[in-house]
Structure 1
Amino acid sequence: MVVTEVNQRAGIVRCRVLTEGRSKGAVEEFAPFTFVYEDEFEPEVKFERHQFPFRVCYAMTISKSQSQTIPRMGLNLKKDVFLHGQLYVALSRAQTMNGVRIYQPLYKGVMRKKPEDPAGYTRVTNIVYKEILDE
């Protein structure tokens, strides 16, 4: 989702959905949450805080992530990694593997499970054309 308009007068934020699915391209509007603070010991002290339900996030390509150290990251593998070692580069940017989330549809055949794999583990196919290397 990407913010397309901040309308302060109306008090709303308009966003466009970028992810795949039925909502792709849809425009959504969000109003802020209003938090009211009143001090029970000083009744004349009151204020309101308006907060939109968003978190800032950043995106970069695997190549641009080199030399970065990233505490928490999401890795979108909807498209195959195309260079030998590219997945390693992406995964090695994270400070810990607990901070990594990977999105990759299982139906594409790139990620798969074998019966001997422990629970929670998935394999990633290493795309190397050995025919080219043997020539």
Structure 2
Amino acid sequence: MQLFVKSLAGNTLALEVTSSTSVENVKSMIAAREGIDADFQCLSFAGKSLQDSEALALYGVQDNSTLHLNAELLGGGKKRKKKTYTTPKKIKHKRTKVKLAILKMYKVDESGKITRLRRECPNATCGAGVFMAKHKDRQYCGKCHLTYVFQKLTLLATEGVSHVDFTRIPFPARLAFAMTINKAHGQTLDSVGLYLPCHVFGLGQLYVALLRVRSHGAIKIMIPDDISIVENHAGSHTHNVVFKEVFNNPS
């Protein structure tokens, strides 16, 4: 049967082959006529690449069929430019080596007496040899998280344009957690403390605060005695303004 091959130059080659002829033999015929080495040839038919060891009949090649010849070339990929970074992507942490670091925890005088410069943690879980970190306003144990806060002095500011003296007393303890009632909407808290120095006249504020906890024992309320006294009522009370529908229809 006659077979046509579309060459690289655009010419059409006519070859006499049989259906049992292998692809490798076809490449040898093309190499003899075009001078292209068989190792660089790539034949395709109907969108499929032909393997050297297979016969033409396996790919459905019939009489007067046309094969397309391509050449395998190296390269073809886009050359990527190497990026240069002026600064490192991540700065590695370097531990500063302190010479004679033991002298920061102990002091040796001329007589040979050893004095501790840092406080040992008194907690039973830490034991001896665990020193507390020294900060400007506190001492902190990194193992059990015990913290001692230093009592600060009262600061009196007399300088300035204003003729009024301002007194500021730094709080000796750190506040753990606090929020206003408006910020508590939609949150469930483990414990809530309410300080009511006056009657609650806001709409539903006390009602919202009581709904933030899961049980009665999780809420503590502090009301001064002069505020909690309500006429014709015994015990501690506070006025609160809510809609009656809240109690009639709690669902």
- Identify the structure with the greater helix proportion: 2
- Structure 2 length as normaliser, TM-score? 0.28
Q: Which has the higher contact order (CA 8 A, sep 6+)?
A: 1
Larger radius of gyration: 2
